[in-house]
Amino acid sequence: MMVEKEKAKYWVGFDLGGTKMLAKIYDQDFKAVGSERTKTRGHEGAKAGLERIERTIRKALESAKIDSSQLAGIGVGCPGPLDLKRGVILDAPNLGWENVPVRKTLTTAFGCPAHIANDVDVGVYGEHRFGAAKGARTSIGIFPGTGIGGGCVYEGKIIRGRTSSCMEIGHIQVMPEGPRCGCGRRGCLEAVASRLAISARSAMAAYRGKAPHLLKQSGTDLANIRSGALAASIKAGDEVVEIIVREAARHIGRAAASLVNLMAPDVLVLGGGLVEAMPELFVSEVKLTAERRVLSSFVDSFKVVAAKLGDDAGVLGAAAWAHQQEQEEE
């Protein structure tokens, strides 16, 4: 029995993204010893997808020269909504998948425990355990992308609902009469401050001739106006784009103030491609706006920082969260 336990000391962290999947193998100190990355190809269906996940993990194990019998557990960050207890992806619209039994498939394939969690939650957990929010009592992550993802780690645990994830920071209402959000309501944070919302406003500016550098680099197609292009156009002198991005950051700061008043976090972590491209702009605008709007007793109670771990936050967080869940069950 002891031999078994000693052998089974590696953890898999897996990130199931809309376009790519990433598997990393970690030792007991959460040092990466192997990895594999591939395209998700969600359109090929959930069955092909599960096979792909399994194959990607096997390749990562090979790259680490580790046998699956040495695995202590697998953690998978997934797009939601999820059934966390059963380990099922209920509905992943970006992939076109429904009712996908990730946990059962991986447990059967690798003979070790598997846990799924919301992709943003494990990203925040990764930053909380190993990155920009290390040592915090309460960490809240805000990740503006196509939408705006959020997560909260409180006293070492991801805050979540009975069977689902929560912390839907993107749907804090910051503008009651604001533009319509993808969720059907008006003025949600992600309707005014996601990368998509910023890109749409910047495309309008480009079309009107107010953002010549952006127009030259990316045209007016939203799909081409990525974070890097926005950052480059600001650097090149497109003032209107800077105004648009700063305004979005201030909206995030408004939502952040509500989160501070509610949860009293020590650390707010900002992450995702948009923040990575312009970390100082986002950190300073969010901090200033939030400080002005929190109750006076919270003014000096929190830091705003940029995420440190990039793509590793999700895989590292997923592996460490699986480890933490197993420890709890012991």
Residue choice 107, 173, 220, 324 for contact with a copy of itself (CB under 8 A): 173
Residue choice 8, 32, 33, 166 for contact with a copy of itself (CB under 8 A): 166
Q: SS3 for 244? A: helix
At CA 168, angle to CA 167 and CA 172, rounded to 5?
115
Instruction: Report in angstroms how near the CB of residue 227 gets to a copy of itself at its nearest.
Output: 25
Instruction: Report in angstroms how near the CB of residue 260 gets to a copy of itself at its nearest.
Output: 8
**119-130 and 312-329 are packed helices; what angle lies between their axes, rounded to 10 degrees?**
90
Q: Are 140 and 261 in contact (CB under 8 A)?
A: no
Q: Which of residues 243-282 bind a copy of itself (CB under 8 A)?
A: 254, 257-259, 261-264, 266
Residue choice 18, 45, 81, 101 for contact with a copy of itself (CB under 8 A): 81
Q: How many helices (H) and strands (E) does the chain have?
A: 12, 13
| 154 touches a copy of itself (CB under 8 A) | yes
| 174 touches a copy of itself (CB under 8 A) | yes
φ, ψ at 253 (rounded to 5°): -60, -35
DSSP state of 161: -
Stretch that binds a copy of itself, among 108-116, 220-228, 241-249, 290-298 (CB under 8 A): 290-298
Q: How far is CA 228 from the centre of its chain?
A: 18
d(CA 307, CA 143): 9
E strands of 221-287, at which residues?
267-270
Task: Give every CB contact of residue 307 below 8 A, 6+ residues apart in sequence.
Answer: 123, 127, 131, 132, 141, 143, 269, 270, 271, 272, 275, 276, 313
Residue with Cβ nearer a copy of itself (88 or 214): 88
Residue with Cβ nearer a copy of itself (22 or 172): 172
d(CA 86, CA 104): 8
| 236 touches a copy of itself (CB under 8 A) | no
Residue choice 25, 53, 64, 172 for contact with a copy of itself (CB under 8 A): 172
Q: Which of residues 105-144 bind a copy of itself (CB under 8 A)?
A: 137-138
Instruction: Report in angstroms how near the CB of residue 249 gets to a copy of itself at its nearest.
Output: 17
Task: Give every CB contact of residue 284 below 8 A, 6+ residues apart in sequence.
Answer: none
Instruction: Report in angstroms how near the CB of residue 159 gets to a copy of itself at its nearest.
Output: 7
d(CA 89, CA 101): 7
Instruction: Report in angstroms how near the CB of residue 21 gets to a copy of itself at its nearest.
Output: 24
| 293 touches a copy of itself (CB under 8 A) | yes
Residues that bind a copy of itself (CB under 8 A): 80-81, 137-138, 150, 154, 159-162, 164-169, 171-176, 183, 185, 254, 257-259, 261-264, 266, 293, 295-298, 301
